Amino acid sequence: MFGIDSGSETEGILAVDFGSTWIKGACVARNGRILEEVSRPAIEGRVTGVGGFELDPALLREAFRRVNEELLGRLSARQRIRGIFLSSEMHGALLADSRGEALTAYMSWKDERSREPVDGTSTIDWLDSKLGRMEFRRLTGMRLRSGIALASVAHLMRGRMLPAGARRVATLGDWLAGVSGGSPLGSHLSLLGSTGFVDIRSGTIPAAIGTFLEDLQEGELLIGPPLAEVREVSRYRSDAGLEIPIFSPVGDMIAAIAGAEAADSGSTVYLNLGTGSQVVAIRDRYAPELDDPALEIRNYLDGKYLSAVTHIPAGRALNVYAERVPDFWGLLGSLSSDEILDARDLEVNLAVFASAWNFKGDPVPTPVPARMSARRFSANLLRSWAAQYLDALRLVDPGGKARRIQLSGGIPQKLPSIQAAFAELTVREVRPASAITETLSGLARIGAGYFGWPISA
């Protein structure tokens, strides 16, 4: 079953990804090959108050335990798991007490409560007045938007809704690691940097952000400390009494890019297409061109950075139209690339959420014209959806130097014709998404790299 023998014992890791749509796990042999996978739908979020989008921490914790136990239950007594490598969705957070127990629900990247007014001013506008959008982008690498942990936590502070005893801001991955085996010993910059609390270069809280947080809160809220490298941060105690190291969780986008990363990454741009989507290029160092405010920057692995356009409408936005078109995903999957490319009758609005890239203040979906067939409307929808990536590519690769586009994420699996459509639209080689989930493959590569095992292609 697991069967990759290293001398006298068999070794491997568990890879677990908490995405927005699926929770997935795998047993990974020491050669990086994924042998066993499990998956289950992600914990369903709940809309709360005005604009809140939360996940129940108890359900998240139990889902993590169940995935681990199901995978461990498939191993024989002589097979050894060296560690658990974990990725989770980025940008969100929960508040915990000094022991790491959750005091709030997990506020996800879909949370938009910070757009609501407190004392007449939305928290997003309040943050803009305190820091400025350009300065926030310079410090954090991100656009100031709802769904970022800083905005959600500041909204609780301004509304005097912060629970008593709150002492720690934790990302989803860091909280799962800590609550499974004690307080985590640090947060990888790929997750910590996505919260909006820290400087993307140093991992420390900038004085400008720290000052207005202190004005809002009596006492100290802790976050981090930052980790530039993946290392052991906690221990998972299994039902059978095993203690397995948990290594610092990384962001799901980082794991997906690691799983899709090509040997010629300098000549490749990555299109990660899932519930949300991003156009990404890997940069070896922080260079002046990364200060372009049209781009967003994320911490990657080994001290590298990602230049990106993020929050591009994808699966979440497409699902809005699923309510209007019968057999929506089946219909999209049946479209040919020629049908998509020839559809020029209608510009379809994909930016139907306020946090979406290119949101222009109109969250209303485009209605299906009375005289247009569902098939033709769907072709126009996919044409409009694909066109937004052309604009993003021009920002991430302004000189057009990248010769290849690597697809990743769940949408290319559902819609195989988009590979040919992207190739025609971009006039570049487009490589298909892997049949194996890229986040799990990326975690396998990270684990193999940590232990010095051969890294599979």
pLDDT digits (tens, 9 = 90+) for 299-311: 999 999 999 999 9
Q: At what angle do helices 149-158 and 123-130 cross, to 10 degrees?
A: 100
Instruction: Work out the pLDDT band at 314, boundaries 50, 70, 90.
Output: very high
Is residue 299 domain-resident? yes
Q: At what angle do helices 133-140 and 123-130 cross, to 10 degrees?
A: 80
Is residue 454 domain-resident? no
Is residue 444 domain-resident? no
Phi and psi for 61 in degrees, rounded to 5?
Answer: -60, -45
pLDDT over 80 (residue 177): yes
Is residue 452 domain-resident? no
18 and 144 share one domain: yes
239 and 291 share one domain: no
What pLDDT, on the 0 to 100 scale, is given for residue 289? 83
268 DSSP β-pair partners: 404
Is residue 327 domain-resident? yes
Rounded CA separation 370/350 (Å): 20
224 and 144 share one domain: yes
271 and 405 share one domain: yes
pLDDT over 70 (residue 243): yes
Q: Mean pLDDT in the chain?
A: 89
Residue 225, preceding bond cis, omega within 30 degrees? Answer: yes
What pLDDT, on the 0 to 100 scale, is given for residue 3? 34
pLDDT over 50 (residue 449): yes
Number of H helices, E strands in the chain: 15, 22
166 and 34 share one domain: yes
194 and 265 share one domain: no
Q: What is the CA radius of gyration of the chain?
A: 22
Strands 79-88 and 9-18: parallel
pLDDT over 50 (residue 145): yes
Is residue 438 domain-resident? no
| Tens of pLDDT, residues 103-114 | 999 999 999 999
388 and 241 share one domain: no
Q: Which two tokens stand for residue 234?
A: 């906690």
Which residue, 277, 333, 328, 287, is CA-closest to 307? Answer: 287
236 and 317 share one domain: no
| Tens of pLDDT, residues 255-303 | 999 988 876 677 899 999 988 899 999 999 988 888 899 999 999 999 9
Domain around 103? 5-252
What pLDDT, on the 0 to 100 scale, is given for residue 8? 31
Is residue 403 domain-resident? yes
Q: Across residues 207-229, what is the average pLDDT?
A: 79
CA distances for 440 relative to 14, 78, 155, 247, angstroms? 9, 24, 34, 14
| Tens of pLDDT, residues 21-65 | 899 999 988 876 777 889 999 999 999 988 899 999 999 999 999
Work out how many domains the chain is built from and give that number: 2
Q: For the chain, what percentages of helix, strand and coil (3-state, to nearest 5) are there?
A: 35, 25, 40
Q: Which residue has the tokens 């510009």?
A: 347
Q: Which residue has the tokens 């912060």?
A: 162
211 and 344 share one domain: no
Look up the CATH number of the domain holding residue 175.
Answer: 3.30.420.40
226 and 286 share one domain: no
45 and 111 share one domain: yes
